[in-house]
Structure 1
Amino acid sequence: MQSLGPARGVQGRACGQRQQRRSGRAHWGRFGLNYTSSSRCTAVRAVASPPEQAAVRPAAAPPAPDANQRIREGGTEAGLVLAQSSKRDPEQPSLASQLPPLAPGAALDVAVVGCGPAGLFLAAQLAERGLKVGLIGPDVPFVNNYGVWVDEFKAVGLEDTLELTFPDAQCWFGEGHEVRVGRAYGRVSRRKLRARLTSLCANAGVAYLADEVTAIETPDGPGASSRLATAGGAALGARLVALASGQAAGRFLKYEEGAPAVAAQTAYGIEAEVEGYSDAYDPKAMLFMDYRRHHTGVWEGSAQRLQRGKHPNAADGLWGSSGEVPSFLYAMPLANGRVFLEETCLVARPALPFSVLKRRLERRMAAMGLKLKTVHEEEWSYIPVGGPLPLPGQPVAAFGAAANLVHPATGFSVSRSLREAPAAAAAAAAALARPDAGAREAAAAVWEALWPAERRRQAAFHLFGMELLIQLDLGSTNDFFRTFFALPQTYWRGFLGSSLSSGQLVVFALLTFALAPAGIKGKLVSHLITDPSGAYLAQKYLGGSSEGSSSSGGGADGGGSSDGPRVAAAAGLLLALSQIAAARGGDA
C-alpha cells in the first residue's frame, strides 16, 4: 500500500519509450525480460537444441496476454507506468561497475533474471550458499519510493538503508476519527538500498550481464539444465532459472485456475515543497491513511475546520459517494519544507486512473490549505494485486512480485520478499546439492518453499479480504479500518505483514466480526457466502491438502502440517458463524 511495502510502481514495466513509439511494440526489458507484445507473440527467439541435447524442449513463445496479464502489465495506465520505470538517477552507480562480468556461454547453478530489490537479494543469498550465480537484466537504477515498517526492515538487517524514520503513523477514517497506529515507519533510501544489495552480491561473487532474456529452454530429462537466450546473443546454461522481473514474468509462468481476477493498486504522488503541512497534519508522524472525503464538496482551506456531523456535504461528506471508488492521502514530511504526498487507491478493478488520483490530490490539498510551491518529482505507482497463484510444477522458478509475493489486500511486497529470500535460496541450494537434480527438481523446491499448501491457504484469505475491499464504499471502508486497527496489534500487524498462519487468520476474522458494526458484519457474511472469493477461500481451507506445509509454511506459529485439523475446525466455526449471522439478518 503506499510507497512501499510494495515496491512502488510495478517491477518489470515496459521501457524504451522511443522504441515503443517507433515500432508499436511493448519492450519489456527493464527488468530482464524481452518479448514482443502482439496478437501471437511470435517474436520471442528460441535457441535451437544441438543433437546431443535433443531431450531438451524449447520453450514456446509466450502467448498473447490474457485479461489477468494485461492488468499485470499496466492495463490502460501502461503509458504512465512506462514513464515511471524510465526514470534515471545518475547518483546510482551502474551494476557493471560493481559486479564481475558474466561471461557469455557460462554454465551457472542459478540464473536470476531481474535486478530489482528482490532479484539482487535473492542472488546474494544464493551465492552465499556456494552456488555459482549469474544476474541478468538491464543496468537501471531504483526509481520507486519505498516506505516500510521499521521493525520489518530491522528483521532483515537493512535498517541502515532507511533515510528517515517516524515514531508513529497517523490515520483518519472519517471526520473526527483519528487513529494513531503506534508503530514506527520509515522511508527507504533507494540509493542506499541498491548500494547495499549490490555490495552483498559483489561480496558473494555474483556475476552480472547487462542484457535481456528472450527465451528459456526447459529440460525434460532428470538433471538437465535450462538454457537462456538473450537479446545480445548470449547463450547461458543454468540448473535453475529464477524470474525476479516483476509482473513482466507473468507471460512466462503458468497459473492456477478458478481464482478471482487480478486487481490493481494505483497511486499518484509528488515530492514537493509545500506550505501549511504542519498546520494540517502532525509533522513528526507519517500520514498512513487519510480517508476523509476532502477531494470534493469542501471549500478551499476549510477542511481543517470541519467537525464531525457538521460537514457541508452531509453525512460527513459521504453523501453521493456510494458509487465512488475510495482513495486516501499518504504522506511523509521530509526536510526543508519538502513533503512526499500520494493519493492512493488501495485496490480496485478496474484500476482507478492516475488522472483521477491527480485531480483528487490537487483538490484535497486545496481543501486542507496546503500550498504547492515547487514539485521536485512525480510518481505513478501501479501495483497489480491478487489473482491466481503460480502453479508449482513448472520448470522455471520465480521470486518477489513475479511469484505473487505482493499482499493482495495492501500491496506490500518488498519486506516480505527480502524476508523470504533466505528460505528460497536454502531450498534451491539443498535441491542443487544432489548431483542428479536439474531445473525441474530445483524449481519445484523453490515453489514449495514459497507456496506450500499452508501459504496458499493464507493467500486465499488475503485474497478474500482484497475482494471485500473492492466492494466497499467509502463509508464502509472507514468502518472497516476503524475496526481493523481496534484489533490486538498481534493480529493487524500480522495481517499487514503476511505473518499470520491460516488458523490465526480465522481468529483474526472472528475478532473482526465481533468488533465490527452491524453493517460490516452483514457485508462480511454476504461476501463469504455469495462472492466467488468465499468459495475459493473454502476450497483452500477445507479442500486443500496440508502436504508440504511443515518446512517453510510461514505464519507466526510456523503453519506446519499439524495445523491442518485446527485450521479446518476454525474454518468450520467461521462458516457456522456466517450462517447464524445470515439467519439473523446480518445483525449478529
Structure 2
Amino acid sequence: MSDSDVLVIGAGPAALVIAAELAEKGLAVTALAPADPRTPWVNTYGIWADEVEALGLSPLLSHRWLDTVSYFGAGGGQVDGGDAPLPHGRAYGLFDKALLQGHLLERFARAGGRWQKGLAAAIEHDADGSSIRVRSAEGVLDAAATSSGEPAPAHLRAALVIDATGHDPVFVRRDPDGPVAGQAAYGIVGRFSAPPIAPGQFVFMDYRADHLSEAERREEPPTFLYAMDLGEGVFFVEETSLALAPAVPFALLRERLNRRLAHRGVKVLEIRHEEFCLFPMNPPLPDLQQRVVGFGGAASMVHPASGYLVGGLLRRAPGLAAAVDAAWREGLRGEALSRAAWQGLWPASLRWRHAFYRFGLEKLMRFDEARLRNHFATFFSLPSELWYGFLTNTLEPSRLLAAMVRLFGLAPWDVRWGLMGLQGREAALLAPMLRPGRQHAATFRQEWRRE
C-alpha cells in the first residue's frame, strides 16, 4: 500500500505546476518540501504574451509590453555599428510571482493535495512503488500550506515519485557527456539618473558593445542587456551571458552592466533588488529508464536555445499528468508506471528537438561578438512565427529544420562558415539527431509527412 499515488518533491514552480495537474486528475498527491511552500520565489519570470494568453493565464502578469525590441548594432544582416532598434512586433509579459505561486497553491489545495514538510534523504523501490526516508522534518503542512504541528513520518510511500527539486536534483540521474554551459546574469531593479532604456519599452537583447574596447570585444565572452521599464521610474536591467562553460562570473557581469550604463550617461541612484541568476543551459537528458521521474530543471527541461523554463512547465505538465493518469488507470505500477511517465514527458519529437538545440548552442558558444550579433540580426529577420516557435520550443521538427535552412540562406558568410564547421564535441552532439533509433523512426516519418 502507498501513502499517496504520487509523491512530488520540491516547492518551486516546477513542483507546484505538476503537483496541481496531477491532483486535478483525481490522483492522491503529496508534495514534500523542506520549508513552507509559500516562501516567496526570488527569480524573475518573463514570458512572451502569446504563450501566456494561450495558457489562459494573462491575469497573472504584472506587466505587459507592446514595444519590444533588440539591438544588434546591425543592419541588413551585417554588423555596421548602428544604434537602430530591431522591433519584434510581439508583446512580452512578466509574471507577478506572488500571483502565479498563489494560483498554483490554490489549485493544488482545491484538488485535495497535501503538503509534507521534510527532506528526502534516501529512496528504495519495489515492484509496486517507492519508499522515501525523510529527515530533518519539522512538521506537517495541510493543503493550504499552513503548519499543523504533527510529527513527520520517518518514511513516505508512493506508487510514483516525481523529483522537481531543480537543476541539482535529489534523486534523478544524468550521465554526463561533456561540460555543461551555464547562462549567467546579474541584474538590478532600481532607479536611475536617466532612463536606461526607452520609457515603456522591453529590450530582449541589446548586444551593442561600444562600451568595450576592441580587444575586449574580440577576446572576451559576449554579453547582452535584458531590460524592462517597470513603471513609475523603476527599471530592471540585467547583463546576461547566453551560455558558456564555465559560466561567466557575476563580477564580470556586474562590471559590464555598470560600464554599459555609464557609457550611456546613466547612474544608479537606488538598488531595490539584486538578481544573481545561474542555471545550466544544455545538460543531457536524464536516464529515461530510471524509476524516479523528473520535472523542470531536474528533467533537463530548460530550453537550450533561450534559457526559458516556466512556459515549458505550464505547457508540458498536462501531458505528463495525462500520461501518469492513463497508466495508473490501466493498472501499471513500478517500472511500467515510470516508463509511461517518462514517455509522456519526453516523447521522440521533444527528444530530437532537445538534441538539435544542444547542437546549435554548442555552435553559438564558439561565435565571437561580431559573428554572434550577425547571427541574431539574421535570426530575428525570419518570419515572426518561426523565431517565436524556435525560442518557445513549439516548432515541430520539420518546421524547425525548415527555419534553420532559411536562416542559413539569409545569413552573411561569416555566420554560414560558423554553422558549417564541426569542432570539439559537435559531431557527438549531432549523432542523436541523425540516429533517432529504430523504435522512433516511424514517429519521425509521421511528423515529417504532416508537413
Common fold, TM-score beyond 0.5?
yes
- Is 1:354 equivalent to 2:273 in the alignment? no
1:373 aligns with 2:269: yes
- Does residue 69 of structure 2 align to residue 170 of structure 1? yes
- 1:308-327 aligned at under 5 Å gives the runs 318-327=214-223
- 1:308 paired residue number: none
Query: What's 2:437 paired with?
Result: 545
> What is the match of residue 289 of structure 1?
205
- Secondary structure, aligned partner of 2:364: helix
Q: Pick one of 289, 297, 309 that aligns with 1:413.
A: 309
8 Å CA contact 2:374, 2:415 repeated in 1 = yes
Is the CA contact 1:241–1:439 (under 8 Å) kept in the aligned structure 2? no
Judge conservation of contact 2:187–2:274 (CA < 8 Å) in 1. yes
Aligned to 2:97: 190
Q: What is the Cα deviation at residue 464 of structure 1? A: 1.2
Deviation >3 Å, runs of 4+: 546-550, 564-567
Please state how far the C-alpha of 1:211 moved relative to its aligned partner. 1.5
CA distance in 2, matches of 1:123, 1:540: 32
Structure showing the higher strand proportion among its residues:
2
Say if 1:290 and 1:416 are closer, same or farther in 2 by CA, change over 3 A: same
Instruction: Tell me if the contact between 1:167 and 1:184 (Cα under 8 Å) persists in the aligned partners.
Output: yes
| Counterpart in the other structure of 1:395 | 291
- Kindly indicate whether the alpha-carbon contact (under 8 Å) linking 1:168 and 1:286 is maintained by their aligned counterparts in 2: yes
Residue 320 of structure 1 and its aligned partner are, at CA, apart by: 4.6
The one-letter code of the counterpart of 1:394 is Q
Aligned mates of 1:200, 1:566 — CA distance in 2 = 36
Q: 2:368 aligns with which of 473, 484, 498?
A: 473
CA–CA separation in structure 2 for the residues paired with 1:561 and 1:531: 30
8 A Cα contact 2:2 2:159, kept in partner: no
Q: CA RMSD in A?
A: 2.0
1:454 counterpart = 2:358 = no
Question: What code does the residue aligned with 2:56 have?
Answer: G
Partner of 1:229: 133
Aligned residues: 424
After superposition, what is the alpha-carbon deviation per residue over 1:394-413, rounded to whole angstroms, capped at 9, x for unaligned? 11101011111101121111
* Cα displacement string for residues 230-275 of structure 1 (whole angstroms, at most 9, x for unaligned residues): 11253111000001111121x6223356x44311000001110112
Q: State the Cα deviation string for residues 520-543 of structure 1 (Å, max 9, x = none).
A: 1111001xx334234422x22321
Match runs of 1:12-51 below 5 Å: none
Contact 2:163 2:172 in 1 (8 A): no
Distance 1:549 1:165, change over 3 A: farther
Deviations 1:553-584 (A, max 9, x none): xxxxxx765126899xxxxxxxxxxxxxxxxx
Instruction: Report the Cα distance in structure 1 between the residues aligned to 2:425 and 2:336, rounded to whole angstroms.
Output: 34
1:40-77 Cα deviation digits (max 9, x unpaired):
xxxxxxxxxxxxxxxxxxxxxxxxxxxxxxxxxxxxxx
CA distance in 1, matches of 2:100, 2:288: 31
Q: Does 1:504 align with 2:372?
A: no
Q: CA deviation at 1:117?
A: 1.2
1:530 is paired with a residue of what secondary structure? coil
- Tell me how far apart the structure 2 counterparts of residues 151 and 549 of structure 1 sit (CA, whole Å): 32
Pick the aligned partner of 1:201 from 99, 108, 116.
108
Q: Retained in 2: the 8 A contact 1:254–1:391?
A: yes
**CA deviations over 1:287-337 (Å, ceiling 9, x no partner):** 11111114434xxxxxxxxxxxxxxxxxxxx45522210101111111221
Contact 1:396 1:443 in 2 (8 A): yes
What amino acid is aligned across from residue 281 of structure 1 in structure 2? I
- C-alpha distance in 2, partners of 1:547/1:454? 12
Q: How do 1:333-344 residues align onto structure 2 when only pairs under 5 Å count?
A: 333-344=229-240
2:414 aligned to which of 519, 522, 528:
519
Question: What is the alpha-carbon distance in structure 2 between the residues aligned to residue 541 and residue 329 of structure 1?
Answer: 32
Q: Deviations over 1:101-147 (max 9, x none)?
A: xxxx9710000111111111111110111100001112232111111
Name the aligned partner's letter for residue 45 of structure 2. Answer: Y
**Cα contact 2:197–2:228 (8 A) shared by 1:** no
Query: 400, 422, 426: which one pairs with 1:533?
Result: 426
CA-to-aligned-CA distance 1:374-404 (integer Å, 9 cap, x gap): 1111110011110211121111101011111
> What TM-score comes out, normalization by structure 2 length?
0.90
Change in CA separation of 1:549 and 1:407 when aligned onto 2, cut-off 3 Å: farther
Q: How far does residue 281 in structure 1 lie from its aligned partner after superposition?
A: 2.8
**Which sits farther off after the overlay, 475-484 or 369-378?**
369-378
Q: Would the aligned equivalents of 2:203 and 2:227 in 1 still touch at CA under 8 Å?
A: yes
Inter-partner Cα distance in structure 2 for 1:160 and 1:521: 43
Unaligned ranges ≥5, structure 1: 1-104, 298-317, 551-558, 568-588
TM-score by length of structure 1 reads 0.69
Aligned to 1:118: 14
Contact 1:173 1:478 in 2 (8 A): yes
Name the CA distance, whole Å, in 2 between partners of 1:513 and 1:426: 38
Whether contact under 8 Å (1:456, 1:540) holds in the other structure is no
Question: In the aligned structure 1, how far is the partner of 2:109 from the partner of 2:450?
Answer: 45
**Would the aligned equivalents of 1:431 and 1:445 in 2 still touch at CA under 8 Å?**
yes
